[in-house]
Amino acid sequence: MKQSYLINRRQVLRGSGAALALPLLDIMSPAVQASPQTKPPIRLGVLYKGNGVHPPSWDISGTGETDFEFSPLVKPLEEIRDDILFLSNLDHLEGGWSHHSCAVAFLGATGSNGRNIDRQQPETIDQLIGRQIGKQTPLSSLELTCDGIFLPEPVTSYISFDQQGRAVPRESDPQIVFDRMFRGINNGSSKRRNLSILDAVLEDANRISRQASTDDQRKLKAYLEAVRSVEKQIQDMDNKAADERFRPTSDPQLTRPVVSESFPARVKALLDMMVLAFWTDTTRMSSFLMANSSSRIVFDFLGINEEHHYLSHFVRNAGTKYITHFNMITQWHVEQFKYLTQRLASIEEAGERLLDNTMLMFGSSMKHGDYHSGRDLPIILSGGKNAGIKTGRWLKYPDAQPYGNLLAGLAERMGVDATDFGSSTASLEGLNRTMNYDFGVKDTGNWLATANGKTLEFSGLVRPTTDLEKTNVYFIRLSDGSDVKLDASFGNLNGKRIDHYVGRAAKITGPFKQVAGQFVVTNIDSIELAK
């Protein structure tokens, strides 16, 4: 029997110069006659922070996948533990190890082709996904940012590159993003920016509501209230800026600012844009560059006066103050990831949560902010239950896995084959099931130290210091429980890539002295993984 009240899944609310997509409603496919076509799509959202992290403050600890403790930097996520998947031991096979290469490697899984923006770069995974599934949505992908362009190395300011290797423009103005999604910014009739989207489509919304069930009316009301809330955020930002702005006495040079006076409000509005984009199925692929790979943002609203990039060099710019400020910025970024996860979790979709149909990835493309290391990348996933992501875990691989395999695994869940993408070798295992890995590094009994003249040869587990005033110090645990102290220069530690060995057993040689009965090595002559 024909059901005249049904509406198409791609139904939009239309008004003068405006079009607003709808969330999934029962009226599009009644529960009693659900069809495969009404199954919510899977989305992928990516949040990127440049400049790495302070590893001792980032690394979580524990004995198993569900038996772990949150580190200081990720402590805000403890409240949403069941929706989080921590990943450890993902390494760059190609790329990384420099600011400009990290930018490309984050979604490209390979190195950059130079530092300049006019050089052709490899296509990134978000653009590959958008190119293959983007025809199903109004926008193939949505690129957001709250950072500017670092002119000495422009490539550090982009994480998305298209099939032709061109940097994909990012948008930092939530009002323009809103117009692009809902007003059709290229339409001449859409230039009336003072007209509310909801006012424009009110008549059509009332018509749909009259056809809808009580449950659909509730969903529609919640959705329209969310749209109105975003409009109000944008309006409030504009009003505040207008009220506080000095009236110039001469014609100013009108250069659009990179960062709003209300930086946190702008970031929140952009995150809400990503939520709306997924909720309305305007796009299924979105990225948010929160801090570029050589970010110079000053987080003064946190009481910090130093540039982000300067603070990331916490070995060369040693001191508790600088590491503390750097960690405050990283934790603030983590809190934005938490907000996005919770916002998606608060929205009902097809009897579940929008978060269950959305995979979120947060992280950086380098680990140690000063050594620029490309191993054990700081990566967190959330959501994606219906994409086969098993959360509430810490997945620490016993052997290093290619980071590109994670990108291939996420793309696979979007319906895109990317097993030969970048440096990937396969789809990453373990995202969908418990792996029961042994998290310990086994002491072979051969972690010993032997002096040979002025040189010490020793093997053991490499651990960083927790002393924020002495960030160039490492300890190597021997089989007898004692430690060799490694206290070398930044140049030596960076040149030998000491951070590559943290959490692993290494064999090291170097000149030494004894202080209060402890071996203290002052330079690394050689280092390799212990057998």
What is the pLDDT, as a whole number, of residue 211? 80
Asked if residue 459 belongs to a domain, the reply is yes
**Do the Cβ atoms of 414 and 114 come closer than 8 Å?**
no
Question: Do 356 and 501 reside in the same domain of the chain?
Answer: no
pLDDT > 50? residue 399: yes
Lowest mean pLDDT among 83-97, 254-268, 352-366, 386-400: 254-268
Is there a single domain that holds both residue 92 and residue 213?
yes
pLDDT digits (tens, 9 = 90+) for 432-474: 999 999 888 889 899 999 999 999 999 999 999 888 888 889 9
Q: Mean pLDDT highest for which of 183-187, 194-198, 286-290, 469-473? A: 286-290
118 vs 295: CA distance, rounded Å: 20
Joined together, the tokens standing for residue 200 give 């424009």
| One domain, residues 398 and 516 | no
State whether 408 and 455 are in the same domain.
no
String of DSSP letters for 387-424 = GT---SEEEEEEEEEEHHHHHHHHHHHTT---TTSTT-
- 396 found inside a domain: yes
For 9-61, the pLDDT digits (tens) are: 667 777 766 677 777 777 765 433 334 446 899 999 999 999 999 999 999 98
Structural domain span for residue 487: 449-529
> In this structure, is residue 211 part of a structural domain?
yes
- Whether residue 405 is found in the same domain as residue 453: no
Tell me the two tokens of residue 148: 């500017």
The enclosing domain of 501 has a CATH number of: 2.40.50.200
Report CA-CA distances (Å) from 448 to 46, 169, 443, 507: 44, 54, 11, 10
For helices 263-279 and 320-345, angle between their N-to-C axes, nearest 10 degrees = 30
Q: Is residue 114 in a domain?
A: yes
Torsion angle (degrees, nearest 10) of CA 322, 326, 327, 332: 140
Average pLDDT over residues 424-436: 95
Residue 38 has a pLDDT of: 65
411-422 mean pLDDT: 94
Residue 280 inside a domain? The answer is yes
Tens digits of residue pLDDT in 269-310: 899 999 988 988 889 999 999 999 999 999 999 999 999 999
Q: Is residue 515 domain-shared with residue 407, that is, in the same domain? A: no
DSSP string, 99-142: HHHHHHHHHHSS--S-SSTTS--PPPHHHHHHHHHGGGSS-S-E
Written as six digits, the tokens of 30 are 């009644």
Of 200 and 457, the structure prediction assigns the larger pLDDT to 457
164 in the same domain as 59: yes
Spatial separation of the C-alpha atoms in residues 131 and 33, rounded to whole Å: 32
Residue 506: name the closest of 475, 442, 460, 456 by CA: 460
Predicted structure pTM score: 0.82
Q: Binning pLDDT at 50, 70 and 90, where does residue 190 land?
A: very low
**Average pLDDT of the segment spanning 171-192:** 66
CA distance 88 to 349: 31
Asked if residues 74 and 88 have their Cβ atoms less than 8 Å apart, the reply is: no
Report which DSSP code applies to 10.
T
Q: Do 170 and 126 share a structural domain?
A: yes
Q: Are residues 465 and 401 in the same domain?
A: no
Query: Tokens in use for 57?
Result: 């403050």
How sure is the predictor about 260, in pLDDT bands with cuts at 50, 70 and 90?
A: low
Residue 262 CB contacts under 8 Å (≥ 6 apart), including other chains: 237, 240, 241
**104 assigned to some structural domain:** yes
**Which residue bears the tokens 């995979």?**
359
Angle between helices 214-244 and 263-279 (to 10 degrees): 150
What is the rounded distance in angstroms from the CA atom of residue 62 to the CA atom of residue 406?
22
Contacts of 439 (CB under 8 A, 6+ apart): 62, 63, 64, 396, 398
Q: Which two tokens stand for residue 488?
A: 């070398």
Distance separating the N- and C-terminal Cα atoms of the chain: 72
Average of per-residue pLDDT across 514-518: 94
pLDDT digits over 99-131, tens only? 888 899 999 999 888 777 778 899 999 999 999
Q: Is residue 335 part of a domain?
A: no
Residues 362, 230 share a domain: yes
In sequence order, what DSSP letters do the residues of 38-55 get, joined into one string?
Answer: GSPPPEEEEEEE-S-B-H
In a domain, residue 84? The reply is yes
Distance CA 261, CA 264 (A): 9
How many domains does one find in the chain? 2
Q: In this structure, what token pair is assigned to residue 225?
A: 């209230």
Cβ contact 483:477 at 8 Å: yes
Asked if pLDDT for residue 237 goes beyond 60, the answer is: no
Residue 62, SS3 per DSSP? strand
Distance CA 476, CA 459 (A): 7
399 plus 488 within the same structural domain? no
**% of the chain residues with pLDDT over 90:** 58
Same-domain pairing of 284 and 137: yes
